Amino acid sequence: MNKFLGLSIFLFSLYSCTSARKHNEHINTEITVKDLHRDIEFAKKKLLTKHVDLDWYYSKNEISNRIDSFKKSVNYPMKPNDFSREFSRVVASLGHGHTHVTALSTRFEKEEKKKYKKSKGPIGLLQFKSIDNRLLLEKSFSKDTTIAINSEVLAVNDIKYQDFYTQYKDFRKGDGYISTFQKHYYGRYFSGYLSRELKPQDSLILTLKKNDSIFTQIVKREYTKKEKIVKDSIKKDSVKSDKNIQPKKLTKDEKLIAQNKAKHKREINKSFAYQKSSKSYLRELQFPVSNDSTIAVLKIKTFTAGYHKKAYKFIFDSIQKHNVQHLILDIRNNGGGYPTDINHLYSFLTTRNEPQMVIKNDVKVNSKTAKSALNFRNPNIISHTLFLPFFIGNSINDFFKTHKKDNEYYYKVNSKKQLLNEENKYKGNLYVLTNGLSYSASSIIAASLQNEEKAIFVGEETGGDYNGTVAGQTDFYKLPNSKIKLGIGMMTFTPNTSRDLKGRGVIPNIPIDLTFEDLLQQKDPQLEWILKDIERKKE
């Protein structure tokens, strides 16, 4: 048995090394025109037959013609990632922001895995932010404190950001006819692009610009160092043993205070979703005006943080205790997340005093088996063997939660437990900050709140459609020759409201653009307008 297990591990390791090598070679191999055409036809068929509500913005006939036109333009061999970039523009033009084409990333081979074990590459130590064709070095997680954050990035090694932007412009868009999404998106994508182009690096050279001065800085790979425990030999007759040093005994009251403090800290870290790696929170409650707790900013960076049910109870209890009269909900750069998360947040902000949900309970799917079959679309030998009863049960459950209505299929995403009517609703003035990266679930909760006319929206049009989005779980189809993947959203999520204006996001009452100069100077004109408006109302 042990010999068989050892042989299995050896063969798996050998296969992994060979597989990684072949994968990396494939990335740099040009695909013939004939094979690229086959991939385009494969993707076209999947889009036309598997994509729910594909014709929301353009007819299927027009979509088919666009893909055919692209196919005719492909008349020379391309490497997989070059093909991915060009085909992405076609897919992005269809108006479904979640539907996208992936690129292939380099895989570590055995030697590289060993070399870079317990380390963080220089790209992973940097966080970028962009507005159109300009890039900001927003954060550095490096131990090197001299790295000039809030500088404009001109190049990384020999890759100029302007060249990248020109090459990739319009390869990814938001929903419908919205243009604000791509204004902010490229900074997020640039890190992944660098990882693919530069391969594993021990250091990077940044070309930066700050205050009209152009300079370079080096960012190095960082390794996790194990602390060495050095045991000093101490003579018993010269120094007292540590065993003789007794820790201070706490009284019952002191123990209780310490326990309550620790419990409160754990509750804060859970509720505000503390991230140990970046030493930051995914949910933040800030008071922007000194000595004035009546004005608060609730910044939510993502709706995927988890623990949301208890988190929002804790957060809005804090808001009530601070007697907040003016709440600013900041969902800028929030790309969305779980429907249950926005549902719990919405239950504290809605003006309606009745059990309800932020999204419609029935979401449209492509077929009766679309959701249930997804459990076995890309099976994993180990997990699907060990947890086979779970996958079967989940598939049966998904099958019976899908029903037919008016010749269309719908899936029930929520149970009656999601019909919420929180007692501790926030009843003060509400402002909502949005931009082009307020997307997916962020757009849905924004649409529901705007429909109630309680909040004043400030900033930019959301990147997600007011009327909903095709999202949920993504089904990936690997194109047979290039091996890149086409990701298709499985479900049409819609808010508990709708409007006649088609293909546009939540449009702010007070439109204020953020410029790159604002980023450089660390200004926030959108938040500043709200604070001034609050002061005017107080007067």
**Average confidence score pLDDT of the chain:** 89
What is the dihedral sign for C-alpha 160, 96, 491, 44?
negative
Residue 80 phi/psi, 5-degree rounding, is -50, -45
Q: How many CB atoms lie within 10 A of CB 64?
A: 14
CA–CA gap between residue 135 and residue 190 (Å, rounded): 9
Pairing of strands 455-459, 429-434: parallel
- State the residue for tokens 């037919």: 404
**pLDDT value of position 10:** 42
Give the pLDDT score at 278: 82
Give dist(CA 196, CA 170) in Å, integer. 19
* Residue 286 CA from chain centroid, whole number: 22
Mean pLDDT of 442-460: 97
Q: What's the pLDDT at 379?
A: 74
Percent of the chain whose pLDDT exceeds 70: 92
- Of 74, 68, 180, the C-alpha closest to 131 is 180
Q: What is the pLDDT of residues 208-265, one digit of tens each?
A: 999 999 999 999 999 986 544 334 444 444 444 555 556 677 787 777 888 888 888 8
Torsion of CA 19, 390, 344, 260, to 10 degrees: -90
What confidence category does residue 12 fall into, taking pLDDT thresholds of 50, 70 and 90? Answer: very low
* pLDDT at position 16: 55
More confident residue, 32 or 109: 32
Residue 345, token pair as written in the block: 């947040």
Alpha-carbon distance of 402 to 189, in angstroms, equals 35
pLDDT at 245: 59
Question: Which pLDDT score, from 0 to 100, does residue 110 have?
Answer: 84
DSSP class of residue 462 equals -
Residue pLDDT, tens place only, 162-206: 999 999 999 999 999 999 999 999 999 999 999 999 988 899 999
**E strands within 194-294?**
203-210, 213-220, 222-223, 274-275, 280-281, 283-286
Smallest CA-to-CA distance from 223 within 336, 121, 74 is with: 121
Q: Give me the mean pLDDT over the 44-52 stretch.
A: 97
Its pTM stands at 0.89
- The arithmetic mean of pLDDT across residues 489-510, rounded, is 95
Residue with tokens 């859970």: 270
pLDDT of residue 243: 53
Domains of the chain, first to last = 13-101 (no CATH), 122-221 (2.30.42), 259-361+414-538 (3.90.226.10), 370-412 (no CATH)
Q: How far apart are the first and last CA of the chain?
A: 81
Structure tokens at 358: 């932020």
pLDDT tens per residue across span 271-300: 899 998 888 899 999 999 999 999 999 999
Per the model's pLDDT, the better-predicted residue between 448 and 226 turns out to be 448
Among residues 371, 345, 342, 370, which one has the least CA distance to residue 494?
Answer: 342
Tokens 């402002």 locate to: 431
How many CB atoms lie under 10 A from the CB of residue 364?
A: 20
Average pLDDT score over residue span 424-440: 97
pLDDT at 473 (0 to 100): 85
Query: What are the pLDDT digits (tens) for 362-409?
Result: 899 999 998 888 777 777 777 777 778 787 888 888 888 899 999 999
d(CA 142, CA 140): 5
pLDDT digits (tens, 9 = 90+) for 138-174: 999 999 999 999 999 999 999 999 999 999 999 999 9
